[in-house]
Amino acid sequence: MTDLLTLQKSFILSHLKEGDICADFTMGNGHDTAFLSKTVGKSGHVFAFDIQESALESTKQTLKKEGCPENYTLILDSHHNAINYIDKKIKAGMFNLGYLPGAGNKALTTKRETTLPAVQNAISMLDSDGILLIAVYPGHEEGYLEGLMLEEYFKTISRFEMSISRFQIINSPTSPYFFIVEKK
């Protein structure tokens, strides 16, 4: 069976290397932040964003437990404000839309009104041969609507500028899927 997390990481690894700059636009519990931190190494940098203090604290613990280099900036702010913090081109960015895993409040999710500008800003920050991975969780209403919104937006981007794909398990319509945005 296809493991979506392993597949996502393989796509990132084809673009990201030691010394690069990247972003985890939805840090959650810090697992993607840790993966990115280890990938770019001591000479690279990871910017990570979340609006919940508990996500920031959980990420700090994950980074310490994983033995990550101190090459990260954890920012308590919305992903749509990332452009105000990152003044360099990024080689990779990851979004895990939805709610904080393990959190009690599943009503606190990413929202279309901030997700679209966040993705648009992330695309504008992409370096040549950069990549964004955007995981969508259609099992709840806002996640379903975020996915539809992003798909419609991606259809407007020239295929000569970006290659945009969607990976989804067809016979499981409420399972998570992800978009791959690669800058040419």
pLDDT in tens, 37-62: 999 999 999 999 999 999 999 999 99
pLDDT digits (tens, 9 = 90+) for 63-98: 999 999 999 999 999 999 999 999 999 999 999 988
Taking alpha carbons only, the member of 146, 155, 172, 16 closest to residue 93 is 16
CA 103 to chain centre: 19
The strand ranges marked E within the chain are 21-24, 45-50, 72-76, 90-96, 126-136, 162-167, 177-183
Q: Is the pLDDT of residue 108 over 80?
A: no
Q: Quote the pLDDT of residue 104.
A: 54
Q: Quote the pLDDT of residue 144.
A: 92
Extents of the domains making up the chain: 4-183
- Could you count the other beta carbons within 10 Å of the beta carbon of residue 112? 15
Give the CATH architecture of domain 4-183: 3-Layer(aba) Sandwich (3.40)
Q: What secondary structure does DSSP assign to 21-61, as a single string?
A: EEEESS-TTSHHHHHHHHHH-TTSEEEEEES-HHHHHHHHH
Separation CA 163–CA 184 (nearest Å): 7
Q: Is the pLDDT of residue 99 over 80?
A: no
